[in-house]
């Protein structure tokens, strides 16, 4: 355990346990006036955290059997009022800690329902919400049987992972015969503990009927079971799978479509029992109406929170950290847009980076909001197969979403990441 000796053990302020996430999350918790206990992977914690963190537990927090006894001891000495996570792998540990210590927070049942896509599908089917064919498989024969029953195309994906990892669209018989082997081969990857929900993630897969139409996501905040749509995010998909390469807000879909989506998502959140905090729900706009893809009781990734701040003036991360302490005023209705915002992810050709140009010009552009570039000369750019393969992004603003999208595309194109093939 790391302790910041410069901060008194007892300050009289309320205390939150923040599990995983980014440096900005503990900074925002401190800015809200909270004392912070931070649980983090050791290699994700450094001097930058020190001004915002009072105590830190540095370990693989996915190991709840190891984490919970340590948290109990710390809670007995310096009680905290809630465990919170804004990161996928921290959601279930936070729920289990809150339950074990008798603290407020989303139930373990709700969090597990959202993390387990097969359990979620069965739960929705029993309630007649967003019906679709689905089943769990382990072999090529399971895939053949599912295709025989439901036809092509279909989707094969992990039951509990996120970030577009291991998602395959099966279009023809050749894909049917090899997808089980391709899925299991993912287990050969050099995954870190923080990359995967579970070590057995690739033992089984979920098979679903393919949903036609475009995908959006619905960003919500819930207050004691009352759900408020903060934003609807339009998406652009790229790569060989379903990796998202662009987002924008506000949505360009019709008011009628958005009303139908809002009804579906609020019914869904009621059905899974989400009571408080953020939600990020992915929806396909199919020819049969909107259908739930999956959902998470956290803020959306890929800079979606930043888009909501620009377009709507709402920082959903602050709500996730502070609403349970009464430090932010609950929303009474969906906010009105103030402008447009868009993010465009950089997708250079795979290979070794030789040169990067255009960064200074992009930063000087009036539409520029943020740029992150994670590669430079000598670094390798992997093929775009899941979200963690993306090497950077540009965020832009505009008077409308259409204008912001155009700016984001223009700025992303101005950054040239030249690569060469690796022998």
pLDDT in tens, 216-272: 999 999 999 999 999 999 999 875 557 788 999 999 999 999 999 999 999 999 999
Q: What's the pLDDT at 1?
A: 47
How many residues can be counted in the chain? 423
pLDDT in tens, 23-54: 999 999 999 999 999 999 999 999 999 999 99
Q: 2 pLDDT band (50/70/90 cuts)?
A: very low
Give the pLDDT score at 102. Answer: 96
Boundaries of every domain in the chain:
15-105, 133-209, 211-338, 339-422
Q: pLDDT tens digits, residue range 140-172?
A: 899 999 999 999 999 998 887 555 677 888 899
CB atoms within 10 A of CB 300: 23
pLDDT at 263: 98
Domain spanning 133-209, CATH architecture: 2-Layer Sandwich (3.30)
Q: Quick one: pLDDT at residue 383?
A: 85
pLDDT over 80 (residue 397): yes
From 200, 197, 195, select the one nearest 62 (Cα to Cα). Answer: 197
Homologous superfamily (CATH) for 339-422: ATP-grasp fold, B domain (3.30.470.20)
Q: Are 84 and 39 in contact (CB under 8 A)?
A: no
Distance between CA atoms of residues 82 and 239, nearest Å = 39
User: Which pLDDT value is given to residue 179?
Assistant: 85
Asked whether residue 6 carries a pLDDT value surpassing 70, the answer given is: no
Cα-based distances in Å from 377 to 124, 354, 359: 48, 5, 14
CATH number for 211-338 (one of 3.30.230.10, 3.30.470.20, 3.40.50.2300, 1.20.1250.20): it is 3.30.470.20
pLDDT one-digit tens code per residue, 338-355: 999 999 999 899 999 999
Whether 207 has a pLDDT exceeding 90, the answer reads: yes
pLDDT of 320: 97
pLDDT attached to residue 4: 42
> What pLDDT score does 159 carry?
86
Amino acid 7: pLDDT: 39
Give the pLDDT confidence score for residue 164 in this predicted structure. 60
pLDDT at 202: 67
pTM for the full model?
0.90
Is it true that domain 15-105 has CATH number 3.20.20.100?
no
Best CA proximity match to 123, nearest among 134, 112, 113: 113
pLDDT of residue 104: 92
- Domains 15-105 and 211-338 in one fold: no
Reading across the β-sheet that carries 380-381, which strands appear in turn?
Answer: 380-381, 351-357, 416-420
pLDDT tens by residue, 357-374: 999 999 999 999 999 999
């Amino acid at each position: 355990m790391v302790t910041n000796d410069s901060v008194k053990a007892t300050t009289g302020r309320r205390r939150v346990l923040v599990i995983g996430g980014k440096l900005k999350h503990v900074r925002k918790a401190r800015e809200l006036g909270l004392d912070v206990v931070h649980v983090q992977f050791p290699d994700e914690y450094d001097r930058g955290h020190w001004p915002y963190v009072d105590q830190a537990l540095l370990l693989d927090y996915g190991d709840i059997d190891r984490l919970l006894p340590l948290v109990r001891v710390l809670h007995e000495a310096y009680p905290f009022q809630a465990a919170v996570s804004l990161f996928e792998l921290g959601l279930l540990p936070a729920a289990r800690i809150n339950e074990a210590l008798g603290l407020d927070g989303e139930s373990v049942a709700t969090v597990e329902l959202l993390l387990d896509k097969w359990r979620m599908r069965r739960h929705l089917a029993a309630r007649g919400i967003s019906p679709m064919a689905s089943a769990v498989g382990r072999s090529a024969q399971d895939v053949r049987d599912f295709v025989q029953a439901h036809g092509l195309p279909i989707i094969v994906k992990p039951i509990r992972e996120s970030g577009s990892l291991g998602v395959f669209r099966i279009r023809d018989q050749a894909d049917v015969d090899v997808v089980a082997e391709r899925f299991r081969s993912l287990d050969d990857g050099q995954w870190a503990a923080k990359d995967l929900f579970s070590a057995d993630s690739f033992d089984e897969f979920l098979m679903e009927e393919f949903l036609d139409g475009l995908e959006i996501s619905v960003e919500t905040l819930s207050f004691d079971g009352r759900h408020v749509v903060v934003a609807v995010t339009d998406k652009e998909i790229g790569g060989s799978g379903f990796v998202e390469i662009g987002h924008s807000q506000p949505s360009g879909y019709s008011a009628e479509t958005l009303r139908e989506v809002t009804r579906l998502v609020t019914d869904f959140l009621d059905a899974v029992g989400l009571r408080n905090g953020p939600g990020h729900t992915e929806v396909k706009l199919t020819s049969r109406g909107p259908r739930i893809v999956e959902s998470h009781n956290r803020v959306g990734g890929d800079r979606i929170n930043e888009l909501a701040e620009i377009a709507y003036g709402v920082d959903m991360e602050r709500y996730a950290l502070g609403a349970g302490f009464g430090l932010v005023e609950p929303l009474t209705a969906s906010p009105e847009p103030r402008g447009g915002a868009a993010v465009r992810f950089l997708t250079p050709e795979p290979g070794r980076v030789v040169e990067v140009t255009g960064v200074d010009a992009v930063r000087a552009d009036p539409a520029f909001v943020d740029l992150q570039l994670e590669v430079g000369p000598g670094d390798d750019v992997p093929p775009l197969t899941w979200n963690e393969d993306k090497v950077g992004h540009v965020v832009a603003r505009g008077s409308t979403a259409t204008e912001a999208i155009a700016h984001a595309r223009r700025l992303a194109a101005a950054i040239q990441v030249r690569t060469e093939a690796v022998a």
